[in-house]
């Protein structure tokens, strides 16, 4: 994990604490990618983590390696929105 990701994680954690959003409960992460924020969500008290991403490869990897629910969705394509219903 690169330095930019560490900075993003630290910034997200500070923001959540600043707005008193802890514990955070359920998380819906759009553009979940490699799932880099998953550890942060668990640390912040998330009870469930759902991720959406355009990459089938990323979604499949997350399904195999984490406890969340992940879906392949192209949010620019309205036909894919049915997964959110």
What's 40's domain CATH number? 3.40.50.150
Check: pTM over 0.85? Answer yes or no: no
Q: What is the pLDDT along the chain (85 residues), one digit of tens a residue?
A: 577 777 887 887 788 777 776 677 888 999 999 898 888 888 888 889 999 999 999 999 999 998 789 999 888 888 877 766 6
Are 72 and 50 in contact by the 8 Å Cβ rule? The answer is no
**Domain coverage including residue 23:** 3-84
Q: How many domains does the chain have?
A: 1
Query: Tokens 């998330």 label which residue?
Result: 46
- Residue 29, classed as helix, strand or coil, is strand
């Amino acid at each position: 994990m690169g330095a930019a990701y560490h900075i993003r994680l630290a910034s997200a954690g500070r923001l959540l604490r600043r707005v008193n959003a802890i514990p955070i409960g359920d998380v819906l992460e759009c553009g979940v990618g490699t799932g880099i924020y998953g550890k942060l969500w668990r640390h912040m008290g998330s009870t469930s983590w759902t991720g959406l991403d355009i990459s089938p490869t990323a979604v499949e990897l997350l399904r195999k390696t984490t406890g969340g629910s992940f879906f392949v969705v192209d949010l620019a394509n309205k036909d894919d929105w049915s997964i959110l219903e």
